Structure 1
Amino acid sequence: MLRKIGCFGFLAAFLLIGVVTANFVYGWNASGPLETETAFIIEEGSSLSAVAEQLEKANAIDSASSFLTRAKILGSGDSIKTGEFMLPAGASNADILALLQSNEVVQRMVTVPEGMPSILVYEALMAEPLLAGSVEVPAEGSILPETYSFERGETRQAVLDRMQSDMKNVLAELWEKRSPDTVVKSPGEAINLASIVEKETALPKERRMVAGVLSNRVRIGMRLGADATTIYPITKGKPLGRRIRVSELRDPNPYNTRAIAGLPAGPITNPGRESIAAVLSPAETKALYYVADGSGGHVFSETLEEHNRNAEKWRALRRERGEM
């Protein structure tokens, strides 16, 4: 009889342990209380205990203490990451810990289009509310136009550093591949001339041809005659919003290639990779002139006489459109 009671007691204890264990495991993998997808931020240096308290306050888990106990026994020993995470609706304790230990940090994006001047890059960074700190207006031509990811709370300086580091790397790579026909004598001159190419044409297929014409002009000491260089010292690259005045065209400041020969004093925008490549490997051409053709591109010519005819066609087209 005692033996039967003992066996029954042992069996009952075994079943109880099984039930408790099953409940313990079930509580780890069961759906959690979150009703909607929720952003959750882990600050640098946060402990798992502190994060568990945050999760309970955010109603992502039922109990911080239960979460910690289950995490120690059933979870991975990997450390939690810093940053912003999106917790799915109904995420289990196991799902949440795995997510916080992963590299699935929410990435935000800021885009620098080709030809965006540094003053506008500065304004874009300062206007992004999820970044921290402040920056100075970066040097013109030091930013590589690209789309950059960042995390909530990251410093603006860190993002700017990546933009400038990418430009240095791309410039170094392209400089090593430069053609012997390039007219520029240094990486700095390459950025300078590329910034003009970037502003002179919006068509990728024309970049090398425009670079070829500008290179020819530099080579013979002819003025580059780019309106964007006239505008730059007035607006720092922002749109002028009006026609250029005659006095501005004649102003012999070190940027105005309408009034001075050679390259301007510095870049007038942040050129993209393709414009830099075009300057370092320009098209082989004898052309010295180009003028808009009315369809977004340009007509190129070798002589002033031919250029004047093309320019008159462009003026006639503008008159027809009511632009003059």
Structure 2
Amino acid sequence: MARRETVPTIKDVARIAGVSVGTVSRYLNGGHARSQNAERIDAAVSALGYRPNVLGRYLVTGSPRTVGVLVPRAANVFAATILSGLQLAFEEAGYAVVVIDFQASPELLRKRIWGQLLSGRVDGLVVLTSELARDEYAFLADVDIPLVVIDNPLDAPGVDSVVVDNRSASRRLVGAMLDAGHERAGLVGMRSNTHVARERRLGWEDAYRERGLAVPESLALEAEATKDAGSAMASRLVSRGSVTTIFAANYYLALGSLCTLARLGLRVGVDIGFATFDDYGFGDVFVPALSTVRQPSAEIARTAADLLVRRIKGTDDRPSQVSLVQAEVRVTDSVRGGLWDEAHLLWAAWNKPQAV
């Protein structure tokens, strides 16, 4: 009779790591452990292939159906809009939602996920990987639980991804700037260590190539996606007179860029062209309204929730799926700013008193 392979337990992890079961439990639940102990526990978990028995815990405790949603920063505008849609979709499907902020830290993400699995609290996970590089979230492929990632795809069996077509939307918006007459459209971009950042940068490049133009690499600046970084990059592009229009690659970079333009006395849509990826209700504050890419937050959330629920229920037997959703591109006269006298004529016409 063949010997049945035993399933590793938390006691095995503790034995291999040379620490107590309590130390392992606290660490995998997100608690503190000495760096040496943490390394030993991680190594033991990896070597043993340890996986908490979530289904067994559910059958024993009778706990309600629950999904975990892990966000890089709960205060991030994009994360907040997605989270709102996810909560609504999961509640309609009969699932409670546990929200976990991992502060854009790969190490904390790993601990938070293992903590949820160890406690048996969740039946499935949704992870927003917007701010992570590919190698920082690749370990998700080994998480043995229904899983959906949003923003950055993960090509792994049993892992579904929901991704916006960032490249196409960026190409269309930057293309509108070039078609309006601009020859020097600068990029205020994110560091290209994430899928989202690379795709938006490629869309900027595509717009030039599509029109037979050389890609002006010197006009593409990259930094952390913060308001201060956006302000600094916009200042560099404008102060050296290298651009007539700017494409900001996300919400926070746009806010920083707009602050710089206002400080310099440049009117968006008049003295300089401007467009941004992300529109969270501030674009129409300007005259003319800003040209923007609006992400379909509700569709992203609904798609992710539907995928995860089907995986949990076992009604989807495909190895994995990448759902590509399209964003809405809104082009306004803001792309025409900086086109010399014609732009000022447009401004005058816009503000001409109307007969009543």
Relative to the length of structure 1, the TM-score reads 0.29
Structure with more of its chain in strand, by fraction: 2
User: Between Structure 1 and Structure 2, whose CA radius of gyration is higher?
Assistant: 1
